Structure 1
Amino acid sequence: MQVKKYEGLFILNTSGKEEGIKEIIDQVTAEITNAGGKVETVQKMDRRTFARVARKKLNAGFYANIIFEGQPALLADLRAKFSMHPDVFRVLFTRAPKEIKTGALTPASA
């Protein structure tokens, strides 16, 4: 199978552990690598309050965006692992957008 590029949006449960965000992100990237993926970039976003509270004890989460490469079967394995991970509240995997090659545009003839 062909290796594809994916984007994972992680909402981390940081209640009471604001200083431990780097360690949680390191654990998440290690899980991706151990499952056979190759992490390209990690973008730490910020803590955001949820518009709709899913759990009474959790009203905000720290967002992180991780772009990685892997086999398509990798996603099912990662979903199973992260659903059991106590520090990952939600995760969303999508195909990473293809890079757009920019070139010189020719002016339209009048």
Structure 2
Amino acid sequence: MKKRYECLMALDTRGQEDSVKDIVDRLEGEFTKEGAQVEQVQKMDKRALSYAPRHLDSAYYVNFVFTADSGLVIKLQNKFKLDPIVFLQHYQTLPVKAQKTPAE
């Protein structure tokens, strides 16, 4: 059964600030290639991190809202774990969108 998910990613874009749009497009393509239907992509700009792991002071945050099978989330987590640009990733289940009924 397909569910709606939200994936918040923090991207390590050091030295690649000009190509952030290309990176986000590539990540969106990875979701689609694995079988997820991406509903929305929110580019949330660069923000400072509260602590500096791996000598990283700030990261570019992107939020993906997508629909996929529950098993696909684990596959996506493992895939993006190997991507050096994806610094952090967090997945959350979203409620199903309510269908609008026509007014009588």
Q: Structure 2 residue aligned with 1:93, among 70, 75, 91? A: 91
Residue number in structure 1 paired with 2:11: 12
Residue by residue, what CA displacement relative to the aligned partner does 1:56-110 show, whole Å, maximum 9, x if unpaired?
A: 2x11100010100000000111011100011111110001244579xxxxxxxxx
Identity within the alignment, % = 35
In structure 2, distance between residues paired with 1:77 and 1:23: 23
User: Which structure: greater helix fraction?
Assistant: 2
Q: Structure 1 residue aligned with 2:82, among 62, 84, 106? A: 84
The RMSD of aligned alpha carbons is 1.4
Query: What residue ranges of structure 1 are gaps of 5+ in the alignment?
Result: 102-110
Query: What residue ranges of structure 2 are gaps of 5+ in the alignment?
Result: 100-104
Aligned residues: 99
User: Which structure: greater strand fraction?
Assistant: 2
